[in-house]
Every structure is written in C-alpha cells, then in structure tokens.
Amino acid sequence: MNFFVNATMPNQKSGIEHAQLKRFELFNNHHEDSRVVLRDWDPVAHINANAAGIPDEQIINMFDYFQEAMAVTPKTLHAEDLDFGVPGTVLVDEPENNRYLVNAQNGQLVARVNYDATADRRVRSTELFDGYNNLFRVDHYDSRGFASLLQWYTPDNKIGTETWVTPEGRTVIETFNKNTMAGEFVKSGWRLIEHDGHVLQFDTIEELTKHFFDRLNDDFWQDEKPNVFVLDRSHLGDWGLLRLRKPAYIAMHLHNSHAGDAQDPMHSILNNHYEFAMNALDEYDAVVSATHKQTHDVNERFQPKTKLFTIPVGVVPDELLNAPRVPVAQREFGKVIAFARIAWEKHLDDLVRAVGIVHKEFPQVTLDLYGYADPTDNYKARTAVEEAIREYNLDGVVTMKGYTTDIDAVENNAMMYGLTSRMEGFNLAIMEAISHGLIAFSYDVNYGPNEIVEDGVNGNVVPYEDYQAMAEAMLKVLRDPELAQQYSTGAYDSSERYSEENVWQAWRVLLDDAERVWPAKLADMPAHAHDAK
C-alpha cells in the first residue's frame, strides 16, 4: 500500500494538499492503490476530503482509526435530536451567533448548541453547564453526525481532560492537561484503550503516532512488496516512521526549500520544518524533490547515501494538454493574474509595484490576485499589498479576488502570470499558468519557478526581488505582439514536461526501487518483529 501522510485536508488548501491530490489522482488513474493518511483530529475532514475527490475508503485518519469511525453512514444531526437529560427543555435561537440556548422549564441554562449556518444547521458542538452555570464540558461533533471529542473543564475554566469516543460513545483516547512546575499548562500524556480493552500510555502525540503507523504497517503488510510511506509534512511523522517495528519503504518529500534562506541553499541554516529530516537523511529510503535544482543542491550540501528522486508535484492532465489553444489576440490585453495566498513569502506587494510601473505606459493593464489572506501579524502581507496599491494609485486596477477553484476560465482569459515569491518548493500555480498558455514572469527564486519558467521560451526569469526588471520584461512583451504570441506558444509547449505520463514514470522509478530493495529489508528484519502486533 502507498500512504501519503499529512495533517488534515482543509477546505482552503496549501500547495502541499494540492500536490497530494494530484498524486492521489495519478496513482488512482494507474491502478496503484493508495491511502491519504491524516494525523490530526478534524471534525470536517471527510467533508473536505470528499469534496476534493477522496472517497472515505481511501482516507485513514488516526483518530478515526482508533475511534472505529473509518466507515460511518453520515447523518445530519440537529439540535432537536439531542437529549440533555432534562425534561421539557426549550430551544432559543440566536442566529447572529449561530447557536441555540437550551433552557430548562425554570429558565436555567442547560446548554448552548453551536450549529453550522451553511449546512442545514448541523450541530458542530454543545457547551454543557451545571446547576451553578459553570461550563463543565464541550462536546465536538463529527460532520457525519456523532459526538467525537469531549473536552472536560476544570473549575478554573481550563480544558483538563479530552476524550475521543467511538460513534457509540465508548472512550478510546484520553489526553490530560496539567500545570508544569513552571506554571505552563501542557499535555501530560495520552492514553489509548484498544478494542480488546488493552490500555497503552504514551507521553507524547508523536509516540501515539508511531503506534498508529505500526498498526497501519501491520494491517497492510505483504511479504511480496513493501508498504510505501510518502511523508508530505515531515514533522508529523519523521520520528515515528524512522522507528517502525517492521520495515517499510519511507520517502521524505521536500515541498519547500530545505534551507532557511532559499537563495543561499548551501550555507544558510536549515528550514526548521525540515531540520530533523535533513539531519537524518540517510535513515530514509528516498528523498523526493520537485525540481532538479533542489535535488542537485541537497546532494551537494549533504552528500547523502539515500537515493534522491526528482518528481514534479504537479500534473498537467491530458485533456488540458490537448485542449484548444487560446491565442494571445483573443485574451484580455494586459490582464495579469496570480494564484497565491496573500502571505509574506509570496511578496505580492512587489508584483503590485511591477504592475504599477507597467500601468503608467499601458493603462489597460490590470492585476487580479486569487487567494485568501494570511492572518499572520494582523494580516501584515495584505496590508503591504494595500499600501502598494495606494502608492501607485491602482484602486480599481488591482483586485483581491479571494480564493477560487474556477482556474480554467480565469487563465484562458488572462494574458500574463506574475510570481514574486521569496521562496518556493515548486509552485503548482505557475505550472498551471503555462499549461493555459499564460506568459510567465518570475523572480529567480528557489525552488520551482526558475525551472518551470524558461527564460526567453515561455516568459522571463528576472533577478531576485527586482520588480523594476519584472516590469520591464512585461513592457517588452506588451510592446511586441509577436513576442507575446511566441512566449504563449512556448508556455503551452513547455507544459508537456508535466504530462501525466511523464510524472507517472518518475513515480514508477521510485516504486520500482521500493520493490527492488524489499528482499534485503525483509532479510534484515529481526526475528521477533515477524510476529509483533
């Protein structure tokens, strides 16, 4: 079995989730069985995963696994369906707060029921009060219609104990929060009650996660071929996967720069998300980078014994490669777009500045930004974009469109794509842009954009953080319709590198390596591990 390990599957996805979904679809199309493994508890994980095209039978969430909730017939639970053990309760709706107050006949507050205003008032959680109006428990409901997480409150209104229960209500996981000697309120341990009543105690969630991985490895064990774990977020499983009780083939996937300063990959401190993994490279069976440049830099800096693979995280589907090409003359002249979170690392205020310079010569030029705003530092990145808009008098020229999935229509209409990131791991958005014939402009940033964008072929790569150079590159194209069409044709042609067949063949090389080394791994397995459960 192939396992793709992540935290959860949010509604607003990062590049890692999009990369996983592309790979998941690719494996399914080639009849190579896989599971998306989600480590974190998430009451709406199944809604989001299903909406993204992952059926329940191909999702394994760690909490679902232990809660015996892998396969649950969903139902919509309403406040009227709940029993609070008090006769004659009355529901008082507070639509402005998306909740009901549950009162006893004497007016005493029994509970508050929080509902999802966008989903037929589905129950999200209940807050339960004692006879003295003290909050003593909050029950969180899975979107499929059952109480999943129960949080028990202390007299000083802190979450003391958290329990996860089966759909039938049996407690299977407990975690305990206590004060340290320094006064810090932290988790002090995890308790797992197995189906047979066997009780296991873990100090950390990492230890519980390792037990979960061991169980998965056992459940899908075959002597003929290994289970393959692709670790997409290294901090979730690097420690546990490298200490499995039985062997498996472990691939660590780099989705971003391994270096803290992506422009100095050979000398700068390590990206903190990859620090453990990069110091344990030779313990993995494989390390996957999305670009040849990053594979080269990892090899040069660390000289690992572990096999290095270059596999693009994006796939351009055959139907898009074969779709009719839209000539530049039929596109909206001067329309620049970008699909990116409005976040510090995307540096979109620089793209606004470049467009501001271009707009002075070509007033038709506009910029649409598609992506949600990162709330970090009180939405600092969005504020920077807004300040750049004011600086260049671009009200009505630059528009923040928010998150969208209607990529085809947007990209078949636009003319140019701009990318001004401080660091990248691949950048699916610019790959999708060239596959739609958009002329691409990017900073010379590691990793991905300076490989996806081929200078003078499908657009231009300009010096890092030089928005004036980007503006000049855009102006050159706008002044020369023949050059614009040449770059657009080059964009369509260059996207062939990311065809389904090409990317699948790259994964096939890794899977073949897993099978090739498997006999030696089996031979090295300790005798006592064969019967371990």
Q: How many CB atoms lie within 10 A of CB 184?
A: 8
Domain membership of residue 507 (yes or no) is no
Pair (103, 180) in one structural domain = yes
Largest Cα–Cα separation, the chain = 80
Pair (437, 478) in one structural domain = yes
CATH number at residue 109: 3.90.930
Pair (36, 66) in one structural domain = yes
Domain membership of residue 95 (yes or no) is yes
Pair (364, 436) in one structural domain = yes
Length of the chain: 533
CATH number at residue 408: 3.40.50.2000
Domain membership of residue 444 (yes or no) is yes
| Angle between helix 467-478 and 481-494 (nearest 10) | 110
Q: Are 418 and 336 in contact (CB under 8 A)?
A: yes
User: Which run of H or E residues covers position 523?
Assistant: helix 500-524
Which has the higher per-residue pLDDT, 439 or 273? 439
What's the total number of domains in the chain?
Answer: 3
Confidence tier at 235 by pLDDT (50, 70, 90):
confident
Q: Are 340 and 350 in contact (CB under 8 A)?
A: no
Which has the higher per-residue pLDDT, 77 or 403? 77
Given 205, 231, 246, which residue is the final one in a domain? 205
Domain membership of residue 505 (yes or no) is no
- Of residues 205, 260, 213, the one with CA closest to residue 241: 213
The DSSP bridge partners found for residue 175 are 162, 190
pLDDT at 530 over 70: no
> Where are the alpha helices (H) located in 61-117, listed in sequence order?
62-66
Domain membership of residue 126 (yes or no) is yes
Within 13 Å, how many C-alpha atoms sit on residue 509's CB side? 13
Q: Tell me which residue range forms the domain holding 107.
A: 79-205
Task: Record the tokens describing residue 442, joined without a space.
Answer: 């990017």
The DSSP bridge partners found for residue 146 are 142
Pair (158, 249) in one structural domain = no
pLDDT of residue 532: 58
- Taking the C-alpha atoms of residue 360 and residue 301, their distance in angstroms, rounded to an integer, is 45
pLDDT of residue 404: 78
Domain membership of residue 264 (yes or no) is yes
Beta strand segments in 233-375, E: 249-253, 286-289, 307-310, 335-339, 366-370
pLDDT tens column, 214-228: 999 999 999 999 999
Q: Are 67 and 148 in contact (CB under 8 A)?
A: yes
Q: Are 277 and 241 in contact (CB under 8 A)?
A: no
Within 13 Å, how many C-alpha atoms sit on residue 386's CB side? 6
pLDDT tens column, 116-132: 988 789 999 999 999 88
Pair (107, 238) in one structural domain = no
Domain membership of residue 525 (yes or no) is no
Pair (282, 234) in one structural domain = yes
pLDDT of residue 179: 81
- Taking the C-alpha atoms of residue 433 and residue 416, their distance in angstroms, rounded to an integer, is 8
| Angle between helix 428-435 and 15-29 (nearest 10) | 60
* SS3 assignment, position 274: helix
Q: Are 253 and 231 in contact (CB under 8 A)?
A: yes
Pair (375, 490) in one structural domain = yes
Amino acid at 49: A
Given 290, 310, 330, which residue is the final one in a domain? 310
